[in-house]
Structures are given as structure tokens and as C-alpha cells.
Amino acid sequence: MSCRNTELKISVTGFIQAVNIHMSPASGMLLDETPLFDPSLLKELDWSSNTVSFSPPISPSQPGEGLVLRPLCTADLDRGFYKVLSQLTVAGDVTEEQFKANFEHMKKSGDYYVIVVEDTNLGQIVATATLIIEHKFIHACAKRGRVEEVVVSDVCRGKQLGKLLVSTLTLLSKKLQCYKVTLECAPKNVEFYKKFGYSASDETYMQCRFFD
């Protein structure tokens, strides 16, 4: 589910796992189950205000048989997190040290909410999406949310996980009191995102790319 070209905007006026530290086989660095953000935030979402239908019914607490939706943890590096991201865009050659440092930076800032869906039978990540919170001076120092990097592994498409990820992060942005949440998508996906309450903006999405 590529997110490019047309910006859509909407104004918006669980799982706890024991820490299980283990050594990464590649470098010997410590990776563990410590979540990027508090998992209780996902449990506390008002799923009754979800605007899209699911058949069969699924939710953040019940994403499907053998599946768990939760915050990212560093141990997910060994569960194929980058394999999933590479199905969306160029993920790059990232070392474990780089991954851990970026994770700690995001966790410390408190403004990054990366969620993953894990297939517990395979021990593999099969979907992920990110909500980033921006702090503004405008709108009385309000917060704005951005949904980015929504991707479902090709082995799990057709299980409504893309819808679940977008619904979850949209509701999470509201819970975090963002005045609006936006995303960027290809024109062909505009109708899909309208189901979640997003509407096409009159603005043109532009970029100045320095690296691939």
C-alpha cells in the first residue's frame, strides 16, 4: 500500500509482553521485547467509533487467528521487520546498531508509534504502520498526526490487515488529541482512505528528494 503523491487530510476536533532479552545471532547485541510505546494505548482505543466494517470482524485486540497487533520492539529486527518494509520501498542496509539507536531515539522522543502485526505461529512480522506526532505552534500549540509506511506482507494480504492498521492509527491519533491526522497516497487509493474519514486536500504534495 504505497503512500505517495496526493495528500489526504482529516481534522480530528493490547498487549503487554514480559521482557525476554536475547542475543541477536548476527552481532551479539541485546534485543528485547520492550515496546516502543505503552501497549495500553492500543487497549484503550474506542473501537466503537471505527468507521470501516470488517468481515469477519477483527480489532486491535483480536486481529485474526495466530496474529497479534502490538507496538514495535527491538526483537522484531530478527522477526523479519525489514523484510516487510522492503515490500513498500527501499529499506536500505541497516545494521543492528543503527536499528537499536533509531529505536531508542524514537522511544525517548515519545512521538513515534510504530505498530506491527506478528504471526505468532511463524514468529514473523507480517504488517506494520507508523504514526508520527508533530508539535505545532499554530492552532494553540496543537499536535498533528501523520500516518506513514503502511505495508502488509504479500503472504498476509486479503486478511484486512491494511484496514486494521489505518483504523488503529487514526483512532490513536484522536486519542492522543491531534487536531488532525494526514497521510499521503497514490491517486488510485483515494477512495480506499475515504472509508476511514479522510478527504482529499486541495493542496499539492511536493517533495525534494536527496537520497533514495
In a domain, 209, yes or no: no
Confidence at residue 9, expressed as pLDDT on a 0 to 100 scale: 43
In a domain, 31, yes or no: yes
pLDDT surpasses 60 at 19: no
Rounded Cα–Cα distance for residues 183 and 102 (Å):
22
pLDDT surpasses 50 at 58: yes
pLDDT band for position 30 (50/70/90)? Answer: confident
In a domain, 206, yes or no: no
Burial-class residue 121 by CB neighbours within 10 Å (0-12, 13-18, 19+). exposed
In a domain, 97, yes or no: yes
Range of weakest confidence among 8-17, 119-128, 178-187, 192-201: 8-17
Which of 116, 130, 22 is closest to 67 using CA atoms? 116
Identify the domain containing residue 59 by its residue range: 6-200
In a domain, 24, yes or no: yes
pLDDT surpasses 60 at 165: yes
DSSP E strands, the chain = 6-11, 22-23, 30-31, 67-71, 112-119, 124-135, 143-152, 178-185, 199-200
Q: What are 130-140's pLDDT values in tens digits?
A: 999 999 999 99
The mean pLDDT of the chain is 88
CATH classification at residue 156: 3.40.630.30
Give how many domains the chain has, as a whole number: 1
In a domain, 205, yes or no: no
pLDDT band for position 52 (50/70/90)? Answer: very high
Q: What are 196-210's pLDDT values in tens digits?
A: 999 998 888 888 989
Q: What is the dihedral of CA 51, 54, 58, 59, to 10 degrees?
A: -10
Task: Give the pTM.
Answer: 0.86
Q: Which helix (H) or strand (E) holds 129?
A: strand 124-135
Which of 80, 91, 68, 84 is closest to 154 using CA atoms? 84
In a domain, 188, yes or no: yes
In a domain, 180, yes or no: yes
Q: What is the distance between the terminal CA atoms of the chain, rounded to a whole angstrom?
A: 18
